[in-house]
Amino acid sequence: MYHNNLQIAIFNLAPLIDPMNHWLVKQEPTAYSWDNFVADGKTAWTGVRNYQARNNLKAMRKNDRVLYYHSVEGKAVVGIAKVITEAYPDPTATEGDWVCVDLAPVKPLKTPVTLDQIKASKPLDSIALTKQSRLSVMPVTPREFDEILKLGS
């Protein structure tokens, strides 16, 4: 009996042992490209003014992995970043409960993963990028994250 309860307890603690979440952020490359991000070494992800995206920023934790997506031009995941500072008040906001996080580049993808590739990939058929296309900060599942890395290797 104790052994079964211990197994259940360990199973229930699994998310606490490895709490890493995965995200995707979108940015127009003409405004702030992956190359700009790499040159800067880190950035505050400011200017988010959508409530759902803001809540996603609030849910980000230090060391969470983030896919960096070029929107409008290019329309492709181009790199991997990580959260280095959790949500804090957005200094660009003049009112409201807006937040930002600090991100740092980890590495570029060997090959950008285009929106067309994402749409054509069966394992990515439920990814938020295609279901909520206007959202600028969104969660991705570990499976979706791994599939994009596979496509970009």
* 76: number of Cβ within 10 Å: 22
Residue type, 43: T
CA distance 25 to 115: 14
What is the model's pLDDT at position 5? 47
Q: Please list the alpha-helical segments (H only) found in the chain.
A: 2-17, 29-32, 34-40, 51-59, 115-120, 128-131, 142-151
- Does the pLDDT at position 6 exceed 60? no
What is the model's pLDDT at position 1? 43
Query: What is the pTM assigned to this prediction?
Result: 0.87
- Does the pLDDT at position 103 exceed 70? yes
Inter-residue long-range contacts of 49-56, CB under 8 Å, 24+ positions, other chains counted? 49/93, 49/98, 50/134, 50/135, 50/136, 52/132, 52/135, 53/135, 53/136, 53/137, 53/138, 54/97, 54/98, 54/99, 54/137, 56/23, 56/135, 56/137, 56/138, 56/139
Question: Collapsing DSSP states into helix, strand and coil, what is residue 54?
Answer: helix
What is the model's pLDDT at position 26? 97
Half-sphere exposure (Cβ direction) of 32: Cα atoms closer than 13 Å: 16
Span 14-70, pLDDT tens digits = 445 556 899 999 999 999 999 999 999 999 999 999 999 999 999 999 999 999 999
What is the model's pLDDT at position 3? 47
Rounded to the nearest integer, the mean pLDDT of the chain is 91
pLDDT band at 111 (very low <50, low <70, confident <90, very high): very high
| Domains recognised in the chain with CATH numbers | 20-151 (3.10.590.10)
Residue type, 100: C
What is the model's pLDDT at position 20? 86
What is the model's pLDDT at position 108? 98
What is the model's pLDDT at position 18? 53
- Does the pLDDT at position 11 exceed 70? no
